Structure 1
């Protein structure tokens, strides 16, 4: 009898041990399950923080694109304190090249969700052309265009445009010389409102209302590298192109500064069949109209302003005349730049574009 009782006691102890092991195993499984659930929840929160950061990044890119399209400086900080249960903060920092010029933007976006934080980054490079639409016109201005022929005596230098004209602001063209006629425009004149179109004698059928057209963006950084490889690169300001020792192979001239030239440079002897890109202001001073003319294939592109002054000015270009309207150091829109100003006669057989266009007299064709 005692032996049987002893065996029963042993069985009870064994059962308790097995039960204890099972309970320990169950607790272990529950702890692992809880840990795995916590890890899964943490990973879900991290993923949510990442997607919120991505949403902030996309919002910043969209706003930057809109600002650049409207020729405005983009914001440097974006945030949303309540976005899908979390929040994001985005900072923008200009990215520079070895010359210290802005070639794009670095974005850092931090998303937060349930105390989990994720930071992602992106680099936005300024494109060659933000919008192609502005290139579809013989004359394009992001702001105002003013062309008058104060010297149009005897109907010799009336305004002529072979193509379409667009200005987001006021477009004003007048012939005021003796016996002058109305400006001759083969295409249409468009702006953001009919009241902006102030072209002498223009029929209503040629007046068109269009929404704001963004300023095209020229890639000055690529032009610089191209000039270093196959053209002529000038590191600094330039006062005389004729002294550069140009050869026929130098099709592109890049001036990493301001360029100021005189009538001798504009005779066309040293500028034929070339593209001049000026990373600053391009200016000239002429004194005798009809003599100091460039009547050859030539492209003039400046990041800031293009100005030709003088009581009687003459300038003829078969190609492109374009002023970007950006600060040369920040590569951001600058409302004080982008001006194309010619005091007297001007003829452009190609494309004329800028922020503000003011011509004293001229024949323009596209």
Structure 2
């Protein structure tokens, strides 16, 4: 009996030991699992922290690149020069690459930025596309520019006075501001024999004096005015940039809402112009992918047709030639190339002289009118030259006088100039307009 009890107790002790060992194993295993997962979670959390730090470092590189681009644009410097390699930041580093993005017409539409941030072995990459937003009024509210030249401005006309008997006076009037960065000239070319030189009229605009400015007051010449003695009327400013028009956006809007021509339009092909105008009645916006040539459009038919340009905005991805008989209302002409009015040959048949119209006349190239120019709006280009030199003025008046005598009228062809500012011309259709001198992010992705 005693042996049986001892045997049972021995068996129970062995079972308890096995049970205890099993529990200990399970506890140790569970503890190991907990420690493992805890370490994994700690490592994962640390990795996530490192990735977050790498992302913020990449974001810092992107911000720096955008700030640098915004510094370069007002200075007309190339933002593509912006790039950084292994720049230390918050115990990590970033690399930044900036590349231009161009459309199918080789026009700059913005910049692609890739910023790579590194921190404790983790890498994050941010890709962003930045571009300049569009504005319609490209100048500061401090300026009321009737006339603007990124480099030089020349406005000149011809007058003659002989012993006060023969008096041919052609006025130059400015109502608003005018600016030429390198030089600006308002000049009466005078054939003067014991007569008097007419004065350039600088009229008030909205209760303010009209100002003629340049980067240096010594670069300003205005007949019968002394810029040095009148600094308020003839101020000098830091260089002001010629605005950049967004041709890419205007092209898209013309394809969607207006008229788009994928080739040049010239007067040589009269049917082409008539076809274009027939498409225009309900279209405020016309985009021409090439040149617009209107030289020799003196026929009554075509002159009447051209009056259909009223209330239109014409964008030309090339040069504009002609315009001598174009006298539309609310017409905007914006060209990537030069705008040229041929002058004498086109003026004589009509004897109107020049192109009076209300609207915006803008070129990223040069604007040249060999005749008079009467604009109620805004004129701007790289260089702007308007009017006749002394020899051209004499020739035009002699030819014009002979033509009028033949017609039974004793009248001399006039070369009056009047450039008047009108801010309403910047109300362009379909939100087309000019580029700001800064960029903003329009697309961004992380990887």
Given the two structures, how large is their TM-score scaled by the length of structure 2?
0.66
Q: Aligned partners of 2:295 and 2:218: how far apart in 1?
A: 39
Match of residue 139 from structure 2: 133
Higher RCO structure (Cα 8 Å, ≥6 apart) = 2
Moved more, 11-20 or 186-195: 11-20
Secondary structure in 1 matching 2:28? helix
Q: Classify 1:27/1:212 alpha carbon distance in 2 versus 1 (closer, same or farther; 3 Å).
A: farther
Cα gap change, 1:270/1:60 in structure 2, threshold over 3 Å: closer, same or farther? farther
Q: Which residue of 2 aligns with 1:300?
A: 333
After TM superposition, the runs of 4+ consecutive aligned structure 1 residues lying more than 6 A away are: 1-10
**1:350 to partner: Cα distance:** 0.9
Distance (Å, rounded) in 2 between the aligned partners of 1:70 and 1:309:
34
C-alpha displacement at 1:68, in angstroms? Answer: 3.8
Aligned-pair CA distance for 1:119:
2.2
Q: Provide the aligned C-alpha RMSD in A.
A: 3.5
Instruction: Provide the secondary structure at the position in 1 that maps to 2:170.
Output: coil
Q: Could you say which residue in structure 1 is the equivalent of 2:355? A: 315
Report if the CA contact (8 A) 1:339-1:354 is conserved: yes
Contact 1:138 1:161 in 2 (8 A): no
2:292 — aligned with what? 259
Give the deviation of 1:46 after TM superposition.
Answer: 1.6
Query: 305, 318, 324: which is aligned to 1:270?
Result: 305
1:300 offset after TM fit, Å?
Answer: 1.3
Deviations, residues 64-112 of structure 1 (Å, cap 9, x unaligned): 3444444444316522522332213233241425x56443333333322
Deviations 1:124-144 (A, max 9, x none): 344333863258533353622
Structure 2 partner of 1:172: 185
Q: Aligned partners of 1:150, 1:355: CA distance in 2, in Å?
A: 21
Report deviation, 1:182. Answer: 3.5
What is the CA distance between 1:224 and its match in structure 2?
3.0
Partner Cα distance (2:243, 2:379) in 1: 12
| Shift in alpha-carbon separation, 1:173–1:268, aligned structure 2, 3 A | same
CA distance in 2, matches of 1:216, 1:302: 12
Distance change in 2, residues 1:174/1:119 (3 Å) = same
Q: Normalized per residue, which structure has more helix?
A: 2
Aligned length: 346
Measure the CA separation in 1 of the matches of 2:420 and 2:303.
20
Matched, 1:363 2:418: yes
Give 5+ residue unaligned stretches, structure 2: 162-167, 204-209, 348-353, 389-416, 422-447
* Residue 38, structure 1, aligned to residue 78, structure 2: no
3-state SS of paired residue (2:355): strand
Contact kept? 1:53, 1:118, Cα under 8 Å? yes
The farther-off stretch of 188-197 and 9-18 is 9-18
Please tell me whether Structure 1 or Structure 2 has the larger radius of gyration of its CA atoms.
Answer: 2
Contact 2:358 2:376 in 1 (8 A): yes
Task: Report if the CA contact (8 A) 1:254-1:276 is conserved.
Answer: yes
Matches for 1:90-239 after TM superposition, within 5 Å: 90-96=97-103, 101-129=107-135, 132-133=138-139, 136-141=143-148, 143-149=150-156, 151-154=158-161, 156-178=169-191, 179-186=196-203, 187-200=210-223, 201=225, 202=227, 203-228=230-255, 231-239=258-266
Rounded to whole Å, the distance in 2 between the matches of 1:183 and 1:191 is 17
Per-residue CA distance 1:13-56 (angstroms, 9 max, x = gap): 65555444433333332222222122112112222222222233
